[in-house]
Amino acid sequence: MKSKLIIGWREWAVLPDFAVPEIKAKIDTGAKTSALHAYRIKKIMRDGVPWAEFFVHPVQRRKRPEVKCAAPIVGEREVKSSNGIVQTRLVVSTILELGPFAQKIELTLTNRDEMGFRLLIGRQALTRRYLVDSGLSYGLGEPEAQL
Protein backbone atom coordinates (compact mmCIF):
# COMPACT_ATOMS: atom_id res chain seq x y z
CA MET A 1 0.00 0.00 0.00
CA LYS A 2 1.30 3.46 -0.88
CA SER A 3 1.68 5.77 2.07
CA LYS A 4 -0.96 8.46 2.36
CA LEU A 5 -0.64 12.02 3.55
CA ILE A 6 -2.19 12.66 6.95
CA ILE A 7 -4.38 15.77 7.00
CA GLY A 8 -6.51 17.40 9.66
CA TRP A 9 -10.25 18.04 9.87
CA ARG A 10 -9.60 21.51 8.43
CA GLU A 11 -6.85 22.54 6.02
CA TRP A 12 -5.81 25.36 3.70
CA ALA A 13 -6.53 24.61 0.03
CA VAL A 14 -5.87 26.36 -3.28
CA LEU A 15 -8.22 26.63 -6.29
CA PRO A 16 -5.81 27.87 -9.00
CA ASP A 17 -8.39 27.83 -11.83
CA PHE A 18 -10.41 30.38 -9.86
CA ALA A 19 -7.46 32.57 -8.82
CA VAL A 20 -8.20 31.66 -5.19
CA PRO A 21 -4.72 31.35 -3.67
CA GLU A 22 -5.91 30.14 -0.28
CA ILE A 23 -9.19 29.11 1.25
CA LYS A 24 -9.98 27.39 4.53
CA ALA A 25 -11.52 24.01 3.84
CA LYS A 26 -13.41 21.62 6.08
CA ILE A 27 -12.51 18.00 5.40
CA ASP A 28 -15.80 16.11 5.45
CA THR A 29 -15.58 12.34 5.05
CA GLY A 30 -19.36 12.19 5.49
CA ALA A 31 -19.89 14.10 2.25
CA LYS A 32 -19.36 12.35 -1.07
CA THR A 33 -18.89 15.46 -3.21
CA SER A 34 -17.00 18.65 -2.43
CA ALA A 35 -18.88 21.96 -2.25
CA LEU A 36 -17.83 25.57 -2.80
CA HIS A 37 -19.55 28.69 -1.52
CA ALA A 38 -20.80 30.45 -4.65
CA TYR A 39 -23.44 33.03 -5.40
CA ARG A 40 -24.87 34.84 -8.43
CA ILE A 41 -24.51 31.53 -10.25
CA LYS A 42 -25.33 31.78 -13.94
CA LYS A 43 -25.28 29.16 -16.73
CA ILE A 44 -23.62 30.32 -19.94
CA MET A 45 -22.43 28.71 -23.18
CA ARG A 46 -18.81 28.88 -24.36
CA ASP A 47 -18.12 27.38 -27.77
CA GLY A 48 -21.19 25.16 -27.39
CA VAL A 49 -20.13 23.90 -23.95
CA PRO A 50 -22.15 24.74 -20.81
CA TRP A 51 -20.21 26.73 -18.20
CA ALA A 52 -21.08 28.27 -14.86
CA GLU A 53 -20.15 31.83 -14.00
CA PHE A 54 -20.27 32.65 -10.31
CA PHE A 55 -18.71 34.70 -7.54
CA VAL A 56 -16.83 33.47 -4.47
CA HIS A 57 -16.02 35.11 -1.14
CA PRO A 58 -12.93 33.02 -0.25
CA VAL A 59 -12.53 34.51 3.24
CA GLN A 60 -14.86 33.29 5.97
CA ARG A 61 -17.33 35.84 7.33
CA ARG A 62 -16.14 38.48 4.85
CA LYS A 63 -17.73 39.98 1.73
CA ARG A 64 -14.33 41.01 0.36
CA PRO A 65 -12.50 39.96 -1.63
CA GLU A 66 -15.09 38.94 -4.19
CA VAL A 67 -13.69 36.69 -6.93
CA LYS A 68 -15.47 36.15 -10.27
CA CYS A 69 -15.03 32.56 -11.47
CA ALA A 70 -16.05 30.34 -14.37
CA ALA A 71 -15.85 26.58 -14.87
CA PRO A 72 -17.24 23.92 -17.20
CA ILE A 73 -20.45 22.32 -15.96
CA VAL A 74 -20.16 18.54 -15.73
CA GLY A 75 -23.68 17.95 -14.46
CA GLU A 76 -26.38 18.72 -11.95
CA ARG A 77 -26.87 16.76 -8.76
CA GLU A 78 -29.45 16.54 -6.03
CA VAL A 79 -27.64 17.00 -2.72
CA LYS A 80 -29.08 16.67 0.77
CA SER A 81 -27.51 19.40 2.87
CA SER A 82 -26.59 19.10 6.55
CA ASN A 83 -30.00 20.54 7.48
CA GLY A 84 -31.76 17.79 5.51
CA ILE A 85 -32.99 19.92 2.61
CA VAL A 86 -32.53 18.45 -0.88
CA GLN A 87 -31.17 20.97 -3.37
CA THR A 88 -30.29 20.67 -7.06
CA ARG A 89 -26.78 22.03 -7.59
CA LEU A 90 -24.56 22.63 -10.58
CA VAL A 91 -21.41 20.49 -10.60
CA VAL A 92 -18.21 21.94 -12.05
CA SER A 93 -14.76 20.51 -12.63
CA THR A 94 -11.63 22.26 -11.38
CA ILE A 95 -8.17 21.72 -9.88
CA LEU A 96 -7.76 21.41 -6.11
CA GLU A 97 -4.33 21.81 -4.53
CA LEU A 98 -4.17 20.27 -1.07
CA GLY A 99 -0.66 19.98 0.29
CA PRO A 100 1.73 18.59 -2.32
CA PHE A 101 -1.03 17.14 -4.52
CA ALA A 102 -2.98 18.86 -7.31
CA GLN A 103 -5.90 17.01 -8.82
CA LYS A 104 -9.03 17.59 -10.85
CA ILE A 105 -12.14 17.34 -8.70
CA GLU A 106 -15.85 17.96 -8.97
CA LEU A 107 -17.41 20.72 -6.87
CA THR A 108 -21.05 21.51 -6.32
CA LEU A 109 -21.87 25.22 -6.20
CA THR A 110 -24.04 26.45 -3.34
CA ASN A 111 -24.49 29.38 -1.01
CA ARG A 112 -22.55 28.51 2.15
CA ASP A 113 -22.89 31.94 3.79
CA GLU A 114 -24.34 30.39 6.92
CA MET A 115 -21.67 27.69 7.09
CA GLY A 116 -18.34 28.04 8.86
CA PHE A 117 -16.22 27.11 5.84
CA ARG A 118 -16.40 28.36 2.24
CA LEU A 119 -15.05 25.05 0.91
CA LEU A 120 -16.03 21.55 1.95
CA ILE A 121 -13.83 18.71 0.68
CA GLY A 122 -15.66 15.40 0.38
CA ARG A 123 -14.60 11.75 0.07
CA GLN A 124 -14.20 11.70 -3.72
CA ALA A 125 -11.42 14.31 -3.53
CA LEU A 126 -9.63 12.47 -0.70
CA THR A 127 -9.60 8.90 -2.01
CA ARG A 128 -6.22 7.19 -2.43
CA ARG A 129 -4.14 10.20 -1.31
CA TYR A 130 -5.12 11.26 2.20
CA LEU A 131 -5.87 9.93 5.68
CA VAL A 132 -7.85 12.24 7.95
CA ASP A 133 -6.82 12.68 11.59
CA SER A 134 -9.94 14.16 13.22
CA GLY A 135 -7.87 15.55 16.11
CA LEU A 136 -5.50 17.44 13.80
CA SER A 137 -6.09 20.97 12.57
CA TYR A 138 -4.10 22.50 9.67
CA GLY A 139 -1.69 19.57 9.55
CA LEU A 140 -0.36 20.81 6.20
CA GLY A 141 0.65 24.11 7.77
CA GLU A 142 -0.26 27.71 7.19
CA PRO A 143 -0.78 28.95 3.61
CA GLU A 144 2.69 30.47 3.20
CA ALA A 145 4.24 27.16 4.26
CA GLN A 146 2.38 25.08 1.69
CA LEU A 147 2.29 27.37 -1.34
Q: Which of 103, 117, 101, 109 is nearest to 72 (CA)?
A: 109
Q: Name the helix (H) or strand (E) containing 122.
A: none
- Whole-angstrom distance, CA of residue 7 vs CA of residue 34: 16
Please check the confidence at residue 1 and state whether its pLDDT lies above 60.
no
pLDDT reported for residue 122:
95
Q: What average pLDDT does the segment 104-133 reach? A: 89
Secondary structure (DSSP) of 11-50? EEEEEGGGTEEEEEEEE-TT-SSEEEE-EEEEEEEETTEE
Question: pLDDT tens digits for 65-118?
Answer: 788 999 999 999 988 877 788 888 999 999 999 999 999 999 999 886 666 789
Model's pTM, two decimal places? 0.88
Domains of the chain, each with CATH number or no CATH: 5-134 (2.40.70.10)
